[in-house]
């Protein structure tokens, strides 16, 4: 079964359409056939900050993560997102899908991507050359600590700017100033955060204090964290960190303790793996009688990812 999901732009001009994520032959999940999903999205769509998470298990509809504004009957969710799951659960596939949507639907002039990856960036080579990346993938812990520190400085500067202009958030600010003065949204995506958090005490301190600072004002300032961890324990994701991550995306974890760490409730230990996802989203009520949303994340082969990323980059090159 194929589903064609077309993001309805919020009144914006429709531009090139790319097939975002390719279909996968019916995957046996043990509960019938898994979800095959084809999403055709408009490149440069103004709905760029609504991210498809997957197809809901209860009614097959698409679940969105809305980082700015409500979209498709869902509320605006929290600014920051935690992604957790044991090895092979599908964190990489989920993250890459989100990154592809980020570069496909956001003008590089309005969105900036910073990637931190302790695994030397091998999973993200397909992003090289994306105009949203203003710096190479960060792969060293010291450089990563600077990224966090700089982000807090940037947030404070932005916040002061909002105060000076008497506006509540970046959206209102950008509407009030000339195009050259507009601020872009900044996305910091950090793979394998838990590994460094558990091993590097100094880094843990920097991350914790930065995330606490960013937790409060980052939404207004247009700064978004996406933190990914394989480990779901107190060393990798301390309470102070989790408390600031309003959107919790939990793939299969080893046990109910891990599930409670990520979602504040058990259940994610029973997921089937391979992109079977339980999540809670800030400001968003869960379906009646359920403690979290359960969705199947769409799958893209690496080749498809590369092909789609190349199409997206060619599109942006053609516009500048």
Ligand X SMILES: Nc1ncnc2c1ncn2[C@@H]1O[C@H](COP(=O)(O)OP(=O)(O)OP(=O)(O)O)[C@@H](O)[C@H]1O
Q: Which of residues 2-61 bind ligand X (CB under 6 A)?
A: 24, 27
Alpha carbon distance 202, 185 (integer Å)? 28
Q: How far is the CB of 70 from Mg ion (least distance, A)?
A: 31
CB of 190 to ligand X, least distance (A): 14
Euclidean distance between CA atoms 104 and 85, whole angstroms: 26
| Residues contacting ligand X: total by CB under 6 A | 15
Question: At closest approach, how far in Å is the CB of 25 from ligand X?
Answer: 10
Instruction: Report how far residue 133's alpha carbon sits from residue 187's, in angstroms, rounded to the nearest whole number.
Output: 10
Binding range to ligand X, per CB under 6 A, among 85-93, 136-144, 233-241, 307-315: 85-93
For position 274 contacting ligand X by CB under 6 A, the verdict is: yes
Residue 182 binds: one of ligand X, Mg ion, none (C-beta under 5 to 8 A by kind):
none
| Nearest-approach distance from CB 194 to ligand X, in angstroms | 10
Q: Using CA atoms, how far apart are residues 209 and 140, in angstroms rounded to an integer?
A: 19
Site for ligand X in 288-307 (CB under 6 A): 297, 299
**C-alpha neighbours within 13 Å on the C-beta side of residue 210:** 24
Binding mask 90-109 for Mg ion (x = CB under 5 A): -xx-----------------
Pick what 284 binds: Mg ion, ligand X, none; C-beta below 5 to 8 Å, kind-dependent.
none
Q: Which stretch binds ligand X (CB under 6 A): 82-90, 177-185, 199-207, 261-269?
A: 82-90
Closest CA to 140 of 157, 123, 118: 118
Instruction: Tell me the C-alpha distance between 123 and 118, whole Å.
Output: 11
x/- contact string, 124-163, with ligand X (CB under 6 A)?
----------------------------------------
- The interface region with Mg ion, picked from 58-66, 85-93, 198-206, 310-318 by CB under 5 A, is 85-93
d(CA 241, CA 259): 16
- Residues 143 and 158: beta-carbon distance below 8 Å: no
Of 89-97, 126-134, 148-156, 262-270: span binding ligand X (CB under 6 A): 89-97
Identify the burial level of 317 via C-beta atoms within 10 angstroms of its C-beta, where 0-12 means exposed, 13-18 middle and 19 or more buried.
exposed
In the complex, what is the shortest distance from the CB of residue 137 to ligand X, in angstroms, rounded to a whole number? 16
Edge-first strand order for the sheet with 50-56 is 62-66, 50-56, 293-296, 276-280, 247-250, 81-84, 223-229, 185-190, 111-116
Residue 246 near which of Mg ion, ligand X, none (CB within 5-8 Å, type-dependent): none
Report the distance separating Cα 205 and Cα 145, nearest Å.
10
- Residues in 223-262 that interact with ligand X by CB under 6 A: 230
Applying CB under 5 A, the span of 77-85, 87-95, 143-151, 193-201 interacting with Mg ion comes to 87-95
The residue nearest ligand X at its CB is: 275
Question: Smallest distance, Å, CB 91 to Mg ion?
Answer: 5
CA distances (Å), origin 153, targets 79, 93, 137, 159, 214: 18, 32, 20, 10, 10
Does the CA dihedral 287-226-13-75 come out positive or negative? positive
């Amino acid at each position: 079964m194929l589903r064609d999901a077309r993001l309805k732009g919020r009144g914006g001009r429709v531009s090139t359409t790319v097939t975002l994520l390719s279909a996968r032959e019916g995957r046996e999940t043990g509960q019938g056939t898994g979800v095959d999903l084809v999403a055709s999205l408009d490149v440069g769509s103004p709905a760029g900050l609504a991210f498809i998470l997957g197809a809901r298990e209860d009614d097959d509809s698409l679940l969105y993560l809305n980082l700015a504004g409500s979209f498709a009957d869902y509320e605006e969710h929290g600014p920051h997102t935690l992604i957790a799951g044991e090895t092979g659960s599908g964190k990489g596939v989920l993250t890459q899908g989100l990154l592809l949507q980020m570069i496909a639907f956001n003008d590089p002039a309005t969105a900036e991507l910073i990637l931190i990856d302790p695994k030397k960036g091998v999973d993200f080579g397909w992003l090289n050359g994306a105009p949203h990346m203003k710096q190479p993938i960060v792969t060293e812990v010291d450089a990563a600590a600077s990224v966090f520190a700089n982000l807090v400085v940037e947030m404070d500067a932005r916040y002061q700017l909002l105060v000076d202009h008497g506006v509540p958030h970046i959206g209102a600010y950008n509407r009030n100033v000339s195009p050259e003065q507009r601020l872009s949204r900044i996305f910091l995506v950090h793979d394998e955060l838990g590994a460094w958090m558990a091993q590097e005490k100094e880094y843990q301190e920097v991350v914790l204090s930065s995330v606490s600072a960013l937790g409060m004002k980052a939404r207004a300032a247009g700064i978004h964290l996406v933190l990914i961890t394989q480990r779901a324990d107190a060393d990798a994701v301390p309470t102070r960190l989790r408390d600031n991550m309003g959107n919790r995306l939990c793939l299969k974890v080893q046990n109910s303790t891990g599930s409670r760490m990520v979602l504040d409730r058990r259940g994610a230990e029973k997921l089937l793996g391979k992109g079977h996802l339980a999540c809670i989203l800030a400001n968003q009520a869960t379906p009646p009688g359920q403690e979290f949303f359960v969705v199947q994340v769409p799958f893209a082969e690496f080749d498809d990812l590369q092909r789609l990323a190349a199409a997206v980059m060619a599109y942006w090159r053609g516009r500048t």
